[in-house]
């Protein structure tokens, strides 16, 4: 590896390779090496994320809403209530202030909805052509409040895998908003702050949560199963994939399981708590479409397998490289 | 619910179908390869039936030499536009993805018309990598015609277009053990059912299939039935997409701009009249003329048996590099690069 490729930012196996072969040679803090969505500090969790989505505005959201939700959700899936955010802008010379105002209004609204306060900020301006409009970085601090620790090491066969609603909306929304294919399908991104929903489950036994962003459900489930003594089995029949998402994926040869979400959480819930969890999720506006999509199995450890509609089975692999660059 | 039951019933029929011993069916099209493995249909086949992948993945059959030509264009400062799958294919020394990271202007597009717009907007020399079969060729021909009409003189095509029937003919003469073909829905939408008469003449049945799990299982059942009964017909189970005569208008556009020419296929070698080249009236669009591209002969790719996979001679795992030296994240050969390549489909869906 001597140059960075777009694929290295895709969140898939190429990203993992970059992390392993380059970053981890220099940055080796034990908390960082845990490779979770956020670092577990004493009594707190801490995370950061940068946003380079193109276009800046898309149906259902914009880069500002994404920047708040992305970080808030990374905290929430650690079982932590998001408290404080920082936000930093890299803006290109010539960027219209009206567009900046729209983005800021959306940041303010998302921060209110998420419950996290934005308490520090920074702005840098670069020459025209150097930042494609605007990039945003956010960082966040949260407080773990789940009664039992959210740790993948606690996942056991018999646990239930669930998701809070339809999959693939964010990726397809951004993709069609780029107008690259003359596609008119208007798909709204699902970008949303999830703590309001996730927080309701704090009393339940939830050993694993993750927001299936880049790389989609396939990436998330593979990260969960990788190197573990359990496997994951999902059922194609139960996957909530909207018709429009399926149609665009068909056309472009994408697997909907590889497409990014920004308002979804994959939860692994202890079997005994599964029914309660579904009830709680479905009562919340962001969880109306919640459903059980699979289970943790003792069979095929380390692997994710899908029971297909035709009664057969197939492996579910994470995507390789750049499927859709600059989706978040 | 009804749909679910129908699919389950079809799957059950396939599982228990009394197929002849040593039945070997080729699915010609890469999109079918992926659809089959995504739905796990290979696990539903009766024990005596073997399904092999054919040469219907455009990226896979394009020789290394073509990538080298595109790389050489990119290094000259020409804007190179291409379907995304081509970018990761390793040429003999470099890939377009690597060239892009090194600063060349290489853009993934989803349509040749997007490439034409890039040429119009930039005013710079823009080349579109014209790769594909009868499916994509008409759109590329239309873009070429439009470039001349709109006098966009900085647009040109680097062509490696291929035709499916001549490749099937070459395969038939090579491997006498094939029992029948699952024929590509999209290509057939253009060339029509009538284009496969040569198969029946050689006592080989074929079924033109759509791409849903139900389409494919239905088509396989038809095909196995014909094989059992020694019926040599071309059946179209995809009438919503394919007419007997195909799409005459698309073929006319194609024929106005391109003419058949001998062409090199990875794995299959040189096949007479199996490619398309620009007709003399459209020679101005030919990137090879415009830029006098010269590349060295590509050295043989070591350890990669893509060619044998494309001929249906081996399954991907029989290649020594499969999922070892050659993996989706660092592919050695194009069958592992393309999302429609059989090696990639085997790794991705098991």
Please list, in sequence order, all residues whose beta carbon lies within 8 angstroms of the beta carbon of residue A295, skipping any fewer than 6 positions away: A157, A158, A159, A160, A161, A232, A233
Measure in Å the smallest separation between the Cα of A27 and chain B Cα atoms.
24
Q: What is the pLDDT of residues B97-107, one digit of tens each?
A: 999 999 999 99
* Stated pTM of the model: 0.83
Q: How much is the pLDDT for B268?
A: 84
On the 0-12 / 13-18 / 19+ scale of CB atoms within 10 A, B71 is: buried
CB A115, CB A195: distance < 8 Å: yes
Least confident of A10-14, A173-177, B140-144: A10-14
Q: What is the pLDDT of residues A14-34, one digit of tens each?
A: 888 899 999 999 999 999 998
CB–CB of B88 and A321 under 8 A? yes
Of residues B40, B58, B47, the one with CA closest to residue B18: B47
Q: Which two tokens stand for residue A65?
A: 């809403």
State what percent of residues in chain B have pLDDT above 70: 97
Which residues of chain B form CATH 3.40.50.11750? 2-56+173-236
- The pLDDT of B40-62, averaged and rounded, is 92
CATH number listed for the domain at residues B2-56+173-236:
3.40.50.11750
Measure in Å the smallest separation between the Cα of B84 and chain A Cα atoms.
9
Q: Give backbone dihedrals phi and psi of A61, rounded to 5 degrees, phi first.
A: 175, -170
Q: Residue B11 above 70 pLDDT? A: yes
CB–CB of B98 and A314 under 8 A? no
For residue B344, how many other CB atoms are within 10 A of its CB? 30
User: What domains appear along chain A, each with residue ranges and CATH number?
Assistant: 37-144 (3.30.1330.10), 152-315 (3.90.650.10)
Measure in Å the smallest separation between the Cα of B106 and chain A Cα atoms.
12
Q: Does A123 touch chain B (CB under 8 A)?
A: no
- Residue A290 three-state SS: coil
Q: Which residue of B has its CA nearest to A255?
A: B38
Q: How many CB pairs below 8 Å do chains A and B form together? A: 82
Q: Residue B1 above 60 pLDDT? A: no
User: Could you say which of A5, A180, A310 has the minimum Cβ distance to residue B101?
Assistant: A5
Q: How much is the pLDDT for A89?
A: 98
CATH number listed for the domain at residues B60-163+246-291:
3.40.50.11740
CB–CB of A312 and B44 under 8 A? yes
Please list, in sequence order, all residues whose beta carbon lies within 8 angstroms of the beta carbon of residue B223, skipping any fewer than 6 positions away: B25, B180, B181, B182, B205, B206, B207, B235
Q: What is the pLDDT of residues A69-79, one digit of tens each?
A: 999 999 999 99
pLDDT band with cut points at 50, 70 and 90 for residue A323? low
Q: Which residues 218-257 of A are in CB contact (within 8 Å) with B?
A: 237, 250, 252-253, 255
Q: What is the pLDDT of residues B235-268, one digit of tens each?
A: 999 988 899 999 999 999 999 999 999 999 988 8
Q: How many residues does chain B have?
A: 350
Which residues of chain B form CATH 3.40.50.11740? 60-163+246-291
Q: Residue A13 above 80 pLDDT? A: no
- Return the ∠ at Cα B149 (arms to B145 and B151), rounded to 5°: 115
């Amino acid at each position: 590896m001597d140059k960075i490729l777009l694929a290295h930012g895709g969140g898939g196996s190429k990203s993992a390779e970059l992390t392993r072969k380059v970053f981890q040679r220099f940055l080796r803090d034990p908390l960082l090496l845990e490779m979770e969505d956020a670092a577990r500090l004493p009594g707190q969790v801490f995370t950061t994320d940068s946003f380079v989505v193109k276009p800046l505005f898309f149906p259902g959201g914009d880069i500002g809403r994404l920047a708040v939700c992305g970080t808030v959700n990374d905290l929430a899936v650690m079982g932590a209530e998001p408290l404080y955010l920082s936000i930093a802008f890299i803006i290109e010379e010539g960027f219209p202030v009206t567009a900046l105002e729209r983005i800021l209004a959306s940041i303010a609204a998302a921060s209110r909805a998420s419950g996290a306060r934005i308490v520090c900020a920074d702005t840098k301006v670069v020459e025209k052509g150097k930042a494609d409009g605007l990039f945003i970085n956010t960082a966040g601090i949260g407080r773990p409040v789940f009664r039992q620790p959210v740790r993948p090491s606690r996942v056991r066969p018999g646990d239930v895998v669930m998701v809070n609603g339809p999959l693939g909306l964010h990726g397809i929304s951004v993709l069609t908003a780029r107008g690259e294919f003359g596609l008119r399908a208007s798909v709204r991104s699902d970008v949303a702050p999830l703590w309001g929903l996730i927080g309701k489950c704090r009393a339940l036994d939830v050993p694993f949560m993750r927001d299936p962003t880049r790389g989609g459900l396939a990436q998330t489930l593979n990260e969960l199963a990788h190197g573990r003594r359990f496997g994951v089995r999902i059922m194609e029949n139960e996957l909530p994939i909207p018709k429009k998402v399926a149609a665009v994926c068909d056309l472009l040869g994408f697997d909907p399981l590889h497409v990014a979400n920004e308002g979804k959480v994959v939860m692994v819930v202890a079997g005994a708590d599964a029914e309660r969890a579904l009830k709680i999720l479905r009562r919340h506006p962001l969880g109306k479409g919640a459903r059980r999509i699979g289970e943790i199995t003792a069979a095929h450890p380390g692997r994710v397998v899908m029971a297909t509609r035709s009664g057969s089975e197939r492996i579910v692999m994470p995507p390789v490289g750049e499927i859709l660059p600059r989706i978040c | 619910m009804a749909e679910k039951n129908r699919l389950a019933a079809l799957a059950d029929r396939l599982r228990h179908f009394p197929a002849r011993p040593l039945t070997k069916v080729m699915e010609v099209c890469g999109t079918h390869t992926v659809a089959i493995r995504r739905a796990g249909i290979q696990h539903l086949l009766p024990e005596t039936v073997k399904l092999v992948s054919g040469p219907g993945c455009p990226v896979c059959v394009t020789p290394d030499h073509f990538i080298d030509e595109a790389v050489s264009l990119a290094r000259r400062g020409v804007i190179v536009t291409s379907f995304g799958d081509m970018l990761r294919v390793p040429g003999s020394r470099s890939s377009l993805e690597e060239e892009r990271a090194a600063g060349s202007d290489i853009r993934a597009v989803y349509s040749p018309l997007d490439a034409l717009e890039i040429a119009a907007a930039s005013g710079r020399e823009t080349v579109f990598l014209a790769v594909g079969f009868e499916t994509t060729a008409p759109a590329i021909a239309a873009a070429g015609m439009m470039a001349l009409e709109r006098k966009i003189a900085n647009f040109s095509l680097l062509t490696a277009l291929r035709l499916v029937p001549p490749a099937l003919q070459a395969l038939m003469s090579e491997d006498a053990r094939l029992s029948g073909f699952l024929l590509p829905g999209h290509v057939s939408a253009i060339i029509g059912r009538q284009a496969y008469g040569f198969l029946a003449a050689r006592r080989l049945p074929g079924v033109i299939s759509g791409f849903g799990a139900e389409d494919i299982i239905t088509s396989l059942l038809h095909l196995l039935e014909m094989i059992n009964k020694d019926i040599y017909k071309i059946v179209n189970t995809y009438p919503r997409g394919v007419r007997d005569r195909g799409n005459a208008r698309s073929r006319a556009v194609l024929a106005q701009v391109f003419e058949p020419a001998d062409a090199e296929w990875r794995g299959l070698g040189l096949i007479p009249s199996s490619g398309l080249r620009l007709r003399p009236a459209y020679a101005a669009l030919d990137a090879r003329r415009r830029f006098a591209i010269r590349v060295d002969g590509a050295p043989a790719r070591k350890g990669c048996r893509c060619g044998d996979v494309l001929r249906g001679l081996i399954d991907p795992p029989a290649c020594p590099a499969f999922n070892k030296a050659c993996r989706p994240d660092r592919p050695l050969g194009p069958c592992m690069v393309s999302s429609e390549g059989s090696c990639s489909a085997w790794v991705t869906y098991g």
